[in-house]
A = this chain, B = another copy of it.
C-alpha cells in the first residue's frame, strides 16, 4: 500500500518534505508603488511587460514570473516536470499563451482568485505522490484585462463602490520539489539564493481543499462578502482535521477578502469558537496602502495572493519572523455571463500550510 496522506475529512499531508525551490513575483506599477515593493523581483512601470495589449501583457508577465522562479531554483524549464497554471480570463487565456508556451507538461487550473492555493497544492501533491521530482505553480491577474473581462473598458472611467477591490497586476510563481530536487537546486542555484536561504528551507506541510460555498450574495462589487464564507469554512475544516487552533499559526493569511470580507471571515470563525483576529492577515490588505492608493476595499485577483506569497510571505518565513503560516487564497466563482444573468456568486478557498525548517538540506 502507498502511504495514506489523507487527514480528517478534507485535508492532506505529506510523508516527506516538499520544499520551496524557487519563487518569483512580477508586478505592475501600482503594486510597485505599494508597501510590498521591496519584495518583488520585477516591477514594470508600463504595465505592458513588452506586450501589445492587456491580455498579451498578462501572458508575458506570467511567463516572466515562471521563468524567474525556475531560474532561481537553479533549473531550466525542461527540468520542471509539471506546470500548474491559471488566471482569471476566459479559457485561461493568459496561462495558455504565457506559462503554457514553456516546454513543460501543462495542466490548466481555475479557482478564481483561489487559484494559487489550488495550483500550489496540486504541484505539491504531484511531488508528494511521487509523480514529479519538481513542479511549478503559477497564477496571474492584470487590472486592465480583468476590468475588460468582468466590468467596463478602462476608457469608460466608471465609479467604484467602497466594497470593491482592485485587481492586482501581478504574477507569482513557485517551484516545489522533493529532497533529490532540493539537493540539485542547492548545488545549481545562484549565490544570492543560497545566501538568502542559509540552512533554512520552507516546506509545504499540508493543506485543506475547499468546497464551493454559496451564501446567496449577488453583489459583484462586494466579492469579499461572497468569498468570506468559503474561507471561514475551509479554515474551520482545516483546524478540525489537523486538531489545531488559530494560535498554532504565526499568521493565517486569506487571499483577497479585503476590508469587508476580512471582518465577515473573522465573525464567522468567531461564531464557531475560533478567535482568528490575533493572527489574521489578508493579501488584499497587505499589497496596497489603501489610504494613499485609493484602492477601496483592497487588492484582489489570482495575482494578489500569488505575489504576496512569492514575495512578502516567503521572505518572512526565510527570515525567521514566522515559523508556520496558513495561506488561504479565496476565489469568487463568477463569470461575466453568470453575473449578468443575476446568479449568486459562490466562493471557494483552499488552505496551504507553509513551515520554516532549519537544517532542511
Contact = CB atoms under 8 A, between A and B. Distances in A.
B97 A343 contact: yes
B210 A335 contact: no
Interface residues of A, number: 62
Contacts of A91: 88, 90, 110, 112, 333-336, 338
A100 B333 contact: yes
A125 B131 contact: yes
Q: What copy number does this chain have within its complex?
A: 2
A112 B103 CA distance: 19
Nearest to A110: B108
Given A16-B1, A108-B111, A122-B122, A337 B89 contact: yes
Instruction: List the 3 closest A-B pairs by CB distance, nearest first.
Output: A129-B129, A90-B90, A91-B335
Most buried by B among A55, A89, A112, A209: A209
Interface in A98-115: 100-101, 103-112
Contact of A346 (B86, B97, B111): B97
Interface of A: 1-6, 10, 12, 15-16, 53, 55, 81-82, 86, 88-93, 96-97, 100-101, 103-112, 118, 122, 125-126, 128-133, 149, 179, 209-212, 214, 333-338, 341, 343, 346, 348
Contacts of A81: 6, 10
A126 B179 CA distance: 20
A5 B337 CA distance: 41
21 contacts: A2-B130, A4-B130, A5-B131, A10-B81, A53-B341, A88-B91, A89-B337, A90-B90, A90-B337, A91-B335, A92-B110, A92-B335, A96-B335, A96-B338, A97-B338, A97-B343, A106-B348, A125-B125, A125-B126, A125-B131, A128-B131
B106 A109 contact: no
Given A55-B338, A125-B129, A346 B96 contact: yes
Given A55-B337, A106-B209, A100 B346 contact: yes
A200 B16 CA distance: 35
Contacts of A336: 90-91
Contact of A129 (B90, B93, B118, B128): B128
A96 B333 contact: yes
A16 B90 CA distance: 37
A205 B10 CA distance: 26
